[in-house]
Amino acid sequence: MEKVLALTTPLGRIGQADEVAKTVVFLASDDASNIQAAEIVVDGGAVGAPFGAPIYRQ
């Protein structure tokens, strides 16, 4: 199942928990003080790629 899901992301792999955690830490920091009411997607590019678009990967 993981291999199938990995094919649906332009990144070509499933994201790791620490990658999501880094985004959360950034958003909780003072560096993100000007970010408000924004949706941050951490998905390896899956949302921006039609049907995972594996054909776009080199």
| Each residue's pLDDT tens digit, 4-43 | 777 777 778 888 899 999 999 999 999 999 999 988 888 8
pLDDT for 4 equals 77
pLDDT for 52 equals 54
Look up residue 53 and give its two tokens.
């678009």
- Where in the sequence is the domain holding 22, given as residue range(s)? 2-56
Count of domains in the chain?
1
Q: Is the pTM of this model over 0.85?
A: no
Q: Which amino acid is at 45?
A: G
pLDDT for 54 equals 58
Alpha helices, DSSP H, located in 1-58: 2-7, 17-28
